[in-house]
Structure 1
Amino acid sequence: MDSETKKDIEVAPALIAVHPDQCSVAVAVGHHLRVFDLLAGSAVSLTDDSDASPFHTDNIRAIRFGAKGKLFVSAGDDKTVKVWSTQSWRCLTSVSSEKRVSAVAISDDGTYVCFADKFGLVWIVDLDPPLRDKKPAPLLSHYCSIITSLEFSPHGRFILSADRDFKIRVTCFPKNPLNGAHQIQSFCLGHTEFVSCLAFVQAQECPQGLLLSGSGDATVRLWNVDSGALLDTCEVATKAGLLESDDKAEEHEHAVTDLCTVLDGLLVAVAIQRQDYHYSILSFLTGRILFGFLTSLFDNAVVVSIAGEAFVPTCLASPSAGKLWMVTGVSTLPGCNFPALARVKVISGIDDEQEPVVMGDNGIPGGEKLLETLQGTASVDDNAFLAAAEAVKTAMGQLLIKKQYPSENRESRKKCRNDRKLKG
């Protein structure tokens, strides 16, 4: 593999997470982790006294707040999982992974952190004191397939794992998870491309909740996790007006990059990455967010297009206040003078009585101080994001789309691989 391709692999999309009580907002771009305190109206200073490398030293691939908001987890390509206290923003523990981390999840009671690596293994760490020198234990495995998303079901009965080989596994979370999770409840099968994201919605008829999944096949699907039954499919590219109803999308052309639930699950927001090589760069730079009410099974939809903006949402986040947070950006671009880029936007008016609108920078909670903290600057040059847009598309492809290598290159790749097990 040449050096240019290696650099492409290192490009990572920006991530965003919002505290469940709207106390803070976190953005990760490259190896930078930036946090803004919404209550104090100021940037947060992180403290990391880990014996290993302080802070992250490579691209961060996953961030998440716990359900109760007391914990925050970050992990990525430096093979490190860091657990933070959201009260002091001190790193409570750093856990070493054998391979690069692709997804994280926190149990609802905050007693366990699970993380997945790029070899298809899911590991678990208990957070009982003492927290120093924690060792992960294997929980479950997908056979040699990158795990793209991890989620605990409501009430913690199941842990769900999705991968780039189109499948979603529903595993019973055991009473003693450090001994492994061996009972599979179901598989949710139906996607025809990589599964990029998962989210749960509450439903009276299903106490364990209904599962939403987004995929590179340009669909969002609704599942019963108890049985693995497919309940509904939404062709989001058609709903968003990117395709006619009788057209067929090219492979990965309108991939769903992220989704999240809003208003306690009454609404789902979906980010669609438009990848059309036959249009000018400004054409597929337009970000589109699709809203579909679950109560009507996606029949009612509103498309919010961020027209004229160099903005392709790479990550969505929303607590329960009717605001949708989103970020676009990538880690440092190879061959460019731009640093790690991030831009934050907020959509307000997300309910069935108001028209969703993109808030101006002055109207965003936290205002200019928040933008300076999370973006690295209050204003961002659009020209920089024109260059970043292609890298966003490439980054998603490098992570989620399987690569095919000629047989003559396989042996040399094995010799140069950087995933050897840690000693000790």
Structure 2
Amino acid sequence: MGEEAEFVAGDGEEVASTAADVENELIEEEKNKDGEVSPAIIAVHPYEKSVAVAVGSELRLFDLEGDCSVSLIDDSGGSPHTDSIRAIKFGANGRLFASAGDDKLVKIWVTNPWRCIWTVPADKRVSAVAISHSGHYVAFADKFGVVWLIEIDEEKVQQLKFDSKPVPILGHYCSIITRLDFSADDRFIVSADRDFKIRVTVFPKEPLNGAHEIQSFCLGHTDFVSCLAFVCPFGHANGFLLSGSGDSTVRLWDFVSGTLLATCEVRAKAGQSQSNGPDTYSPVTDLCASFDGSIIVAALQNLHGVVLLNCDFPNGNLSVAKVVSFEETYFPTSLVLSSSTQRLWMIMGASNLPMVGTTHLPTRLKVISVPEKDPSLNYRHDPVVLEDNEIPGGQKLLSELQGTPDITQEEATLAAAAAAVKLSMRSMMIKKEYNLEKREMRKKNRNDRKAR
């Protein structure tokens, strides 16, 4: 009996030791996650009246009409952003703006004059945000795959009275939703996730009761879906959907039926290496397009530049038109196209970097003037990368939106940002595999308390 008891005790110590090791490993993993970088992101007013940049918890704004920075006013009574902002978005007419992120806050702003009118607490970290074209709804998605909806009542907005709560309308089963958008006619809401899916959902007449009717799934990507863009070329009433992915492709969809119309292997056609080394993993990090689809631009993680695409919509043909290259330390983390001026705005930068000599997180902004196309879909001349003094707003804008790094460290800092964003994106988007012990320990230590 004594020997048996001794054996059991020893076995228990071994199990306890193993459990402690697993728990310590998970705690270390969570610590690393807390220090995870977030990429700098950019949004431009649809009529290019203002430019917004988010890096970390900072929201920086510049008024292009007034040629001045914007001091943000918060009338919502809520707290400011305290953690990384993951999504920013202007409404279709530029009147509304939304920001959301890891602090589980969605902040809704009016832009004339700029002020926050509503701070909405979310249950989980927010990964995507969208504003309906009518301006009546703001949708946001969390990292558990739930899409929530907020109704914007004009009368209550004017009186600063907000008593409604976000309502869950649809979900992806425990998968991080990476992008969210409304179709141009607000008939559909499209959500993409890291499990390669694009879901097209009918946006109902009474959406607060839930959006239960799935129109289609756009399936074909072989890695996470990172970005979406609707285009509505002349003569195509429903328009089309473009998507970019970790599989280095941009795809064209008839999203109403879920039919894949064209695939462009962007990495290969942009002349990037096809070897299997770690630095050749080249997800499409962002994608933007003009309303009519005449301009389509994609960014790849390991490409120091952007790719301009051509799309022959009647024949379902998608191809690389031009590659615009930058210096070797620069690849954009976020793109946005101002259709009114055919200017492409892009930003590079990251949060949570160990930087010396500055408390203002540095980013680097660039602007490309994109030329018009002739009837044969050829650009009339090469795209032009604007010099700093040629960018709208000039040095004033750059000082406000780029931050003020030590000039002697700027190149090294941006190189560190590029490396950190690559690692962070892969860490967030690629699903981790856990053994049974780790899964049980994660369940035990889960913290799903709702924000109050």
Question: TM-score by structure 2 length?
Answer: 0.85
Does the aligned pair in 2 maintain the 1:290–1:301 contact within 8 Å? yes
Q: How far is 1:419 from its partner?
A: 3.7
- Which residue number in structure 1 is paired with residue 14 of structure 2? none
- Which residue number in structure 2 is paired with residue 357 of structure 1? 384
Q: 1: CA distance between counterparts of 2:355 and 2:412?
A: 15
Q: How far is 1:362 from its partner?
A: 1.5
- Which residue number in structure 2 is paired with residue 343 of structure 1? 364
Tell me which of 76, 85, 95 is aligned to 2:110.
85
SS in structure 1 at match of 2:73: coil
Does the aligned pair in 2 maintain the 1:218–1:252 contact within 8 Å? no
Does the aligned pair in 1 maintain the 2:85–2:99 contact within 8 Å? yes
Q: 1: CA distance between counterparts of 2:67 and 2:38?
A: 28
2:343 maps to 1:326? no
- Which residue number in structure 1 is paired with residue 72 of structure 2? 46
Q: 1: CA distance between counterparts of 2:126 and 2:280?
A: 23
Tell me which of 298, 304, 313 is aligned to 1:287.
304
Tell me which of 132, 135, 146 is aligned to 2:176.
146
Aligned counterparts, 1:163-174, within 5 A = 163-174=193-204
* AA of the residue aligned to 1:197: C
Tell me which of 294, 300, 311 is aligned to 2:330.
311
Deviations 1:315-373 (A, max 9, x none): 00112111100001111225877642311111114332121122121211111110111
- Which residue number in structure 1 is paired with residue 12 of structure 2? none
Q: 2: CA distance between counterparts of 1:234 and 1:11?
A: 30
Aligned counterparts, 1:21-420, within 5 A = 21-53=47-79, 55-128=80-153, 129-130=155-156, 131-243=161-273, 253-262=281-290, 264-274=292-302, 287-295=304-312, 297-299=317-319, 301-308=321-328, 310-320=329-339, 321-333=341-353, 339=359, 340-351=361-372, 352-377=379-404, 381-420=410-449
Does the aligned pair in 2 maintain the 1:217–1:251 contact within 8 Å? no
Q: Which has the larger helix fraction?
A: 2
When residues 338 and 391 of structure 1 are mapped into structure 2, their CA distance, relative to the original with a 3 A threshold, is: farther
In terms of mean alpha carbon deviation, does 16-25 or 369-378 score higher? 369-378
Q: 2: CA distance between counterparts of 1:157 and 1:171?
A: 9
- Which residue number in structure 1 is paired with residue 6 of structure 2? none
Does the aligned pair in 2 maintain the 1:261–1:269 contact within 8 Å? yes
Q: 2: CA distance between counterparts of 1:422 and 1:5?
A: 19
Question: TM-score by structure 1 length?
Answer: 0.91
Deviations 1:142-180 (A, max 9, x none): 000000000111111100000000010000000000000
Deviations 1:188-213 (A, max 9, x none): 00000000000011134531210000
When residues 88 and 325 of structure 1 are mapped into structure 2, their CA distance, relative to the original with a 3 A threshold, is: same
Does the aligned pair in 2 maintain the 1:239–1:301 contact within 8 Å? no
When residues 319 and 402 of structure 1 are mapped into structure 2, their CA distance, relative to the original with a 3 A threshold, is: same
When residues 23 and 421 of structure 1 are mapped into structure 2, their CA distance, relative to the original with a 3 A threshold, is: same
Does the aligned pair in 2 maintain the 1:36–1:44 contact within 8 Å? yes
Does the aligned pair in 2 maintain the 1:346–1:364 contact within 8 Å? yes
- Which residue number in structure 1 is paired with residue 46 of structure 2? 20
Does the aligned pair in 2 maintain the 1:259–1:270 contact within 8 Å? yes
Does the aligned pair in 2 maintain the 1:266–1:295 contact within 8 Å? no
Mark the runs of 5 or more structure 1 residues left unpaired by the alignment.
275-285
Q: 2: CA distance between counterparts of 1:96 and 1:162?
A: 23
* AA of the residue aligned to 1:258: D
When residues 33 and 141 of structure 1 are mapped into structure 2, their CA distance, relative to the original with a 3 A threshold, is: same
In terms of mean alpha carbon deviation, does 251-260 or 151-160 score higher? 251-260
Q: 1: CA distance between counterparts of 2:306 and 2:116?
A: 34
Q: 2: CA distance between counterparts of 1:307 and 1:382?
A: 11
SS in structure 2 at match of 1:207: coil
- Which residue number in structure 2 is paired with residue 282 of structure 1? none
Q: How far is 1:295 from its partner?
A: 2.8
Cα RMSD over matched residues? Answer: 2.2
When residues 379 and 337 of structure 1 are mapped into structure 2, their CA distance, relative to the original with a 3 A threshold, is: closer
Mark the runs of 5 or more structure 2 residues left unpaired by the alignment.
1-25, 373-378
Q: How far is 1:402 from its partner?
A: 1.0
Find the structure with the greater CA-based Rg: 2
Q: 2: CA distance between counterparts of 1:400 and 1:315?
A: 16
When residues 364 and 7 of structure 1 are mapped into structure 2, their CA distance, relative to the original with a 3 A threshold, is: farther
SS in structure 2 at match of 1:355: coil
SS in structure 2 at match of 1:347: strand
* Percentage of matched positions with identical amino acids: 55
In terms of mean alpha carbon deviation, does 361-370 or 43-52 score higher? 43-52
Does the aligned pair in 1 maintain the 2:344–2:370 contact within 8 Å? no
Q: 1: CA distance between counterparts of 2:449 and 2:280?
A: 31
Does the aligned pair in 2 maintain the 1:332–1:341 contact within 8 Å? no
